[in-house]
């Protein structure tokens, strides 16, 4: 049995992985869908990227064996920070249409002007939380702006994780991740996959995502 720690992207909680969790459990594995601070029923406007990283480090450290850690979109920042903090506890890293930062990067610095404008518009109410964009799932919650703005500090130890996988979603316009997918595809220590679906891979193509996750163990 393997343990999978599943972290959703901006505005979303662990519920986004419902179908993936069911399939992983059906194969005899443990699946831990994570809802980060501020993205559940209790707001956390003061949360920043360090907050979210520390929460997931705690989850990983509580497991007896190494884990497969999965990050969608914004959560690529989180899983990078977790793997940098505890690389010996990570069996595999899986980025799902996600940011892959270098030290000093932030979501704000890595994303496109379109998404920066979206963040600014979403934070107009109080400047501390970014409201979900229109037409997202009603379970989405305002996202703490500090997590988008804070730069990550990495030693580079995350690169010690033996298996690193990047899944790109090529079925939506305006993706900030396509060039990253192409670049990682030429690096020998990465495996890359391309899906013809929208950004929310866990909900739009859970079967294919689960197949890749199962191949990590």
Residue position matching structure tokens 């595999």: 92
Catalytic residue (one of 37, 62, 73, 175):
73
Determine the Cα–Cα distance for residues 123 and 130; give it in Å rounded to an integer.
4
Q: Which helix (H) or strand (E) holds 190?
A: strand 190-195
Determine the Cα–Cα distance for residues 181 and 97; give it in Å rounded to an integer.
8
Q: Is 73 a catalytic residue?
A: yes
Query: How distant, in Å, are the alpha carbons of 11, 29, 99, 188, 213 from that of 21?
Result: 19, 9, 22, 30, 11
Provide the annotated active-site residues: 73
């Amino acid at each position: 049995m393997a343990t999978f720690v599943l972290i959703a992207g901006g505005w979303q909680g662990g519920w986004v992985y419902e179908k993936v969790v069911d399939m992983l459990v059906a194969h005899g594995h443990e699946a831990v869908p994570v809802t980060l601070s501020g993205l559940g029923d209790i707001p956390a406007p003061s949360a920043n990227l360090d907050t979210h990283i520390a929460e997931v480090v705690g989850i990983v450290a509580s497991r007896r064996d190494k884990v497969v850690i999965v990050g969608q979109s914004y959560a690529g920042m989180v899983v990078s920070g977790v793997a940098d903090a505890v690389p010996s506890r990570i069996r595999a890293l899986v980025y799902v249409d996600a940011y892959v930062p270098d030290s000093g990067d932030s979501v704000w610095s890595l994303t496109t002007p379109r998404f920066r404008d979206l963040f600014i518009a979403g934070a107009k109410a109080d400047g501390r939380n970014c409201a979900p964009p229109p037409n997202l799932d009603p379970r989405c919650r305002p996202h703490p702006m500090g997590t988008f703005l804070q730069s990550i500090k990495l030693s580079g130890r995350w690169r010690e994780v033996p298996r690193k996988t990047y899944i790109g979603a090529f079925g939506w316009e305006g993706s900030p991740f396509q060039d990253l997918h192409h670049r990682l595809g030429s690096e020998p220590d990465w495996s890359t996959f391309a899906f013809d679906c929208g950004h929310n891979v866990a909900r739009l193509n859970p079967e294919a995502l689960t197949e890749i996750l199962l191949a990590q163990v």
